[in-house]
Amino acid sequence: MDMRISGRRARTTIFAPRLQQLLCEHRGEDVFRLDHDTVGVAGAALSDQILSARPATEWERPTFKPLHGRSIPRPDALKSMQAIGRDVRAALKKPIPDGVDLSGPWPHVGHVYLRDLILGSDPRRLRFLMNRILELTPKLTWAVIGTGALLPVKLQPEASAIAASVAQASGYHDRRYAMGLYRRTAAPVCFTISTLIANALWLGAPFEDHWSNRSILYEALRLLPPSWNLLRNASPEYPALDARIGEKDDVLVLPLLSHRDPALWDDPDEFIPERWGSLNPDSHPGYLPFGHKSERCWGQHMVMPLAEMFLDMLRHQGLAVSPQQTTAHVPLAGLLGVAEVDCRLG
C-alpha cells in the first residue's frame, strides 16, 4: 500500500500479504467470512456490540492470558500494572540527560532507551527479559525465564517496583511465575511505545510545528493500530447480534479496517494529525487503538505520556526519517508496526 504524505517524499508502506489482503478485499465491509469457523467484523456499530456483549475471557485478554498454563488472577494483573505504573511515573520525573543519541534504527533504539530508563537498576537477568529476540518464540522466552528463576533475585534499593514481586517470590515455581509476569507487564510497555514512535516517524516526520504530540500519536495509532485485531471466541451472544455469525464461529474484530473505513474518516489513508482537533479519540466510531471502552488496555495511560516525551526529544533534536529510506515493511505480528525506520538528523 502506497502511503503518500502531503508535502513530503512519497514513502511506500509494504504490508504483509495477509494484512494487504484484508485491506484490499474487506475494507468498508461490516461482516465477512475469514475461514470456515472465523468471521471478521469491521463495522463500527457491530464491533461495539460484539465487544460490549460480554467480558473477555482470560484467553482473550491481550496481555494477561494464562502464563505457561497458570491463570493470572485479576488481583495479580492489577498489582503488576500498578507497580509498572509507579515505575513509569518515576521515569517521567527523571531529567533528560544531555547528549542522548536517539538516531539509528527504530523501534530498536527507543526500546533499549526505555528499558534502561524504566528498568535500568534491575538485575541483568530481569532486564534481559525485555530483549526483542525473545519475541521469536515462546519456547525461547520460557527457557530464559526457567534459567533465570533457578536462583533467588536480590535487588538494589533503586530497583523498579515491578521487580519487587520477583525478589519476594519463594521457590523456583513462584519465581518463574513472577519473572513471567514481569515480562508480560513491562515488555509490552517498552515494545508498544517504541513501535508507536517508529510508526509516527515513518508516517509523518518531519513533523509540522503546529502539530501537537498528542495529535501525531492519535493519527499514528489510527493508521497502524498496535492491537490491529481483537479475538472473541465463539459465544451465543454473537449470533443473536448478527445472523451472519454462526454459533461455532470465532469473531475477529479488526481495528486495522475500521481505522481506514472511508465511511468513518475523511482521506482515510492520509496522515492528517489536524483531524484530531475536532474528533474525540474516546468516542469516535470504530477507533479502537487500545481496545474497547469496556475493557480498554490498562497500559494506555503509561503509553501516551512516555510516547509524548519521546516525541519531544526527537523534535528537539531535529531527527527524522533518513531520505534514503523510501520503503518500510509491516510484518504480520501481534503488535502492528513498521519493522525498521532509519532515524537521522533532518
- Tell me whether the omega of the peptide bond preceding residue 97 falls within 30 degrees of 0, making it cis: no
Nearest residue to 332 via CA among 258, 259, 229: 229
SS3 77: helix
- Longest CA–CA separation in the chain, Å: 60
Bridge-based pairing state of the strands 11-15 and 327-330: parallel
Rounded Cα–Cα distance for residues 275 and 266 (Å): 9
CB atoms within 10 A of CB 296: 14
Beta bridge partners of 230: 253
CB-CB contact of 223 with 203 (8 Å):
yes
SS3 58: coil
CB-CB contact of 156 with 80 (8 Å):
no
Per-residue pLDDT of the chain (346 residues; tens, 9 = 90+): 444 443 355 799 999 999 999 999 999 999 999 999 999 999 999 999 999 999 999 999 888 889 888 999 989 998 999 999 999 999 999 888 778 899 999 999 999 999 999 999 999 999 999 998 887 788 899 999 999 999 999 999 999 999 999 999 999 999 999 999 999 999 999 999 999 999 999 999 999 999 999 999 999 999 999 889 999 999 999 999 999 999 999 999 999 999 999 999 999 999 999 999 999 998 999 999 987 766 655 567 788 999 999 999 999 999 999 999 999 999 999 899 999 999 998 6
CB atoms within 10 A of CB 230: 21
Place of cell 513501535: 195
Nearest residue to 203 via CA among 338, 345, 16: 338
> Could you tell me if residue 345 is left (phi over 0), alpha (psi between -120 and 50 degrees) or otherwise beta?
beta
Place of cell 533504539: 109
Rounded Cα–Cα distance for residues 317 and 155 (Å): 35
- What global pTM score does this model have? 0.93
SS3 26: helix
